[in-house]
Amino acid sequence: MDCREALLKLYHYLDGELDPSEYMDVEQHLHNCKGCFGKAEFERIMKEVVKKRCQKERSPEHLKDRIMELIHQIDINSEKSQSRPADKDSPFNTFNPS
């Protein structure tokens, strides 16, 4: 594997999307090539920073509110979709028109 090939696969390598054999090839190259190793480390750190920043911006309180809101919406939707066919199919409807 040359540097070009290694760098092409670098992002997949960092995302863990490579086949085990490809992963080994990239890892082997990074082990032997300081230039690519530096690049890989840089990308790895960048990914970490972006990840941490995303986590920071979404505060737990805000996230909790959002989740509660979503659960509430799901409850309302599932009640609607469940009660309609049940009412329609209910044998009591024919005997009790109200």
Q: Which one of 18-26, 27-35, 59-67, 72-80 is the stretch in contact with Zn ion (CB under 5 A)?
A: 27-35
Using DSSP's 3-state secondary structure scheme, residue 78 falls into: helix
Subset of 39-98 contacting Zn ion (CB under 5 A): none
Residue 36, interface with Zn ion (CB under 5 A)? Answer: yes
* Residue 44 Cβ vs Zn ion, minimum distance, rounded to whole Å: 16
Q: Which amino acid is at 43?
A: E
Residue selected from 5, 27, 33, 43 as contacting Zn ion according to rule CB under 5 A: 33
- Rounded Cα distance between 10 and 5, Å, is 9
Q: Give how far Cα 40 sits from Cα of 6, 8, 11, 15, 53, Å.
A: 10, 11, 8, 12, 20
* Residue 38 Cβ vs Zn ion, minimum distance, rounded to whole Å: 10
Interaction site with Zn ion (CB under 5 A): 3, 33, 36
